[in-house]
A = this chain, B = another copy of it.
Amino acid sequence: MNIGQASDASGVSAKMIRYYEEIGLIRPMGRTGNNYRVYGEEEVHVLRFIKRARSLGFSLEETETLLKLWQDKSRESAAVKEVATAHIADLERRIAEMQGMVKTLKHLAHCCGGDHRPNCPILDDLAGDSSAPGDSSASGGDAPLPASRRKTKKVA
């Protein structure tokens, strides 16, 4: 099987297959006399594994860990579960972050006329004109930050 067929069979682009080889995620493939890479069913299986892991949001680094665990027949499932739960926590953190953005934006968009007039609470918020009623807590972000780690003379 050439790289094109392996790509079709696995759903991973030829470009990516070469890249995965380059970074050591998969072993260098054997070559035919014409210098073409040769793939077998096992390699395709590995590529599908990678694709599935990526589709679940695992980074290539995490994918590499999972791949090694998969190939290590004496692994402990606890190790796999640990990688998965850490990833779940990361996803949930990012989801919560984006949901916060959505909440704020929906509120602002709701308050915005969306008409021909220039008056716009969305821009007012971005500009820091927090003339919003009491809801400004929802527009979170900007953690207070202890003001300055800088050791400067700070004319301020």
Contact = CB atoms under 8 A, between A and B. Distances in A.
Size class of A's contact patch? Answer: 35 or more
B112 A101 contact: no
B98 A57 contact: yes
A92 B102 contact: yes
A60 interface: no
Task: Among A74, A81, A101, A155, find the residue whose CB has the most chain B CB atoms closer than 10 A.
Answer: A81
21 contacts: A5-B155, A11-B142, A51-B142, A55-B142, A66-B126, A70-B127, A74-B118, A75-B120, A76-B116, A77-B118, A78-B116, A81-B113, A82-B114, A88-B105, A88-B106, A88-B109, A91-B101, A91-B105, A92-B102, A95-B98, A95-B102
Interface of A: 4-5, 8, 11, 45, 48-49, 51-53, 55-57, 66, 69-70, 72-78, 80-82, 84-85, 87-88, 91-92, 94-95, 98-99, 101-102, 104-106, 108-109, 112-120, 122-123, 125-128, 141-142, 145, 148, 150, 152, 154-156
